[in-house]
Amino acid sequence: MAERKQLFLNLFEMATASHITHGLWPLPGNNRERFADIDYWTELAQILEHGGFDGIFLADVIGAYDVFRGGPETALREGLQSPNIDPLLVIPAMAAVTERLGFGVTFSTTYEPPFAFARRMSTLDHLTKGRVGWNVVTSYLPNAAHNFGLDGEVPHDLRYQYADEYLDVLYKLWEGSWDDDAVVADRANKIFTDPSKVRYINHVGERHRVSGPHIVHPSRQRTPVLFQATGSPAGIEFAGRHAEVVFTGGRTTEEFRRNADGMRDAAVRHGREREDVKFIAMAGIIVGRTEEEAADKWKLYRENSSLDGILAHSSLPVDLTAFPRDITVAEALRRADVSPSKVPFLPLERTVGQALDFVGGSRDDRFLVVGTAKTVADEIEKWLDEDGLDGINLRQYHSFDTARDFAELVVPELRKRGRLPDESERSDTLRERLFGAGNSRLPDRHIGARYRGGANLDNPVEPLRFDTANAASF
Ligand SMILES: Cc1cc2nc3c(=O)[nH]c(=O)nc-3n(C[C@H](O)[C@H](O)[C@H](O)COP(=O)(O)O)c2cc1C
């Protein structure tokens, strides 16, 4: 029998009260208000590690959601991604109480220079013994730009151009600046590092000038596993060059497959193999001991979901809740003097009521399942075999019930079906878990590998270029 494809299983988290399931933090027993308590993270990490998860994935933003209703009030009231503590800093606490759990962490390429970030990620890769991944984002909040000295957001495609140079600097530092055997720690000769094995990178680009050498010696993975979420043409091209794991979606199997194929084509354009890119999706899974118990939980979550939270999160530039439900969206936009081009995702000819119901209920997407462990496992098997998905970021409705329920009920069922490894089989670096034993480092054909051993440091890579004049600015 052909080997069964296994699920790459992450919990989706954010160091905040309300990440993506708005309105649920006050539910009985939900302990999201503890997100700034170090014990929250160590307890959660242990639940995940012992419960069979591969990793925890931490989202991040660096600004307030202040577009909806023209200010941050709604977001603040909702606990919507503010307050939000630094996700990089909770990782060592979790690493200290686990041995195998992986950590995916979000950081933006747009605002902070690369040298300090290279250092922080190398530090985390050392402290976690090679269990760290980076979710590369370019940041979408206007307030983030205002926090870092800019008048407004950098246009969308230009952000990807900036990100491309950012990663080039990082690869030079992570892959090219130090040889693996540079640190000798030779007591007899009193030599800590062999200086002939460490080099400057002398990067001079359009946006960054970084001389190096890297200030941290090589870690297990050197470059952390590179994650990215995208659907735009510029983002897909960027993913084709850089990303190892992409979040993608689709409302149907065909759409998902088409999206994934587009990204694989992009990878091939950048000299990589189709299987060098894995795909994960955000999944809503509500499991119960009976179908009824699961349905009740789902009902509870839906009934408590906050429309205000969802609207503030989507940075809707018009407050549709202030209009009668029976007028069309087009009419509401006209009255609010907001151009339809600012809200391309809204159905203009529908009524305001229909649009609000659509936005409020849009979680009922392809990767959602409510039921017993058997129902859930059947569905996950379809995602793996029919859609071609490699893994999921499990959406949390309740902390820690979502993770515990999945660990107690679904993990044993998936293990029984050969869809998750037994605890004893687990590999130790994050990249090995994704790409197999012995693959702790970037593959040779990845663009970051061109700097290995100091090669190509004076041979610049062709930068990614987009038609930034035509790029949308959101
Ligand atoms: C599952 C998922 C997680 C994301 N997490 C973050 C995040 O933590 N921080 C952030 O700024 N953007 C996050 N994003 C947004 C993406 O980085 C990106 O802006 C978005 O997918 C649109 O990309 P595109 O404009 O290239 O299509 C996330 C997107 C998805 C689908």
Amino acid 473: pLDDT: 43
Please say whether the beta carbons of 158 and 128 come within 8 A: no
The first and second tokens of residue 403, run together, are 């993770």
Amino acid 362: pLDDT: 62
Residue 283 CA to ligand 1 centre (angstroms): 15
Would you say the C-alpha torsion 35, 39, 43, 46 has a positive or negative sign? positive
Atom 16 of ligand 1: nearest residue by CA position: 229
Query: Which residue segment(s) compose the domain that 156 sits in?
Result: 8-285+370-449
Separation CA 312–CA 75 (nearest Å): 6
The first and second tokens of residue 413, run together, are 């069922």
Q: Which residues line ligand 1 (CB under 6 A)?
A: 59-61, 106, 137, 139-140, 156, 229-232, 235, 247, 282, 393
Residue 271 CA to ligand 1 centre (angstroms): 25
Atom 6 of ligand 1: nearest residue by CA position: 59
Tell me the β-bridge partners of 80: 18
Residue 85 CA to ligand 1 centre (angstroms): 18
Q: Is residue 303 part of a domain?
A: no
Q: Is residue 113 part of a domain?
A: yes
Q: Is residue 440 part of a domain?
A: yes
Q: pLDDT tens-digit profile of 164-190?
A: 999 999 999 999 999 999 999 999 999
Q: Is residue 469 part of a domain?
A: no
Q: Which atom of ligand 1 is nearest to the CA of 232?
A: 27
Biggest alpha carbon distance in the chain? 83
What's the mean pLDDT in 1-10? 86
Amino acid 468: pLDDT: 67
- Mean pLDDT score across all residues of the chain: 95
Which residues are CB-contacts of 448 (< 8 A; sequence separation ≥ 6)? 167, 170, 171, 174, 175, 223, 242, 442
Please say whether the beta carbons of 197 and 179 come within 8 A: yes
Separation CA 256–CA 251 (nearest Å): 7
Q: Is residue 348 part of a domain?
A: no
| Substitution candidate for ligand 1 out of 103, 230, 395 with most atoms within 8 A of CB | 230
Q: Is residue 270 part of a domain?
A: yes
Residue 333 CA to ligand 1 centre (angstroms): 26
What's the mean pLDDT in 153-159? 95
The CATH number that applies at residue 161 is: 3.20.20.30
Q: Is the pLDDT of residue 360 over 50?
A: yes
Amino acid 249: pLDDT: 80
Residue with tokens 């990089």: 88
Q: Is residue 419 part of a domain?
A: yes
Separation CA 311–CA 352 (nearest Å): 13
Strands 102-108 and 209-210: unpaired
- Count structural domains, the chain: 1
Per-residue pLDDT band for 364 (boundaries 50, 70, 90) equals low
Amino acid 335: pLDDT: 95
What share of the chain has pLDDT > 90, as a percent?
91
Residue 137 CA to ligand 1 centre (angstroms): 6
Phi, psi for residue 198 in degrees, rounded to 5: -130, 135
Q: Is residue 227 part of a domain?
A: yes
Amino acid 361: pLDDT: 79
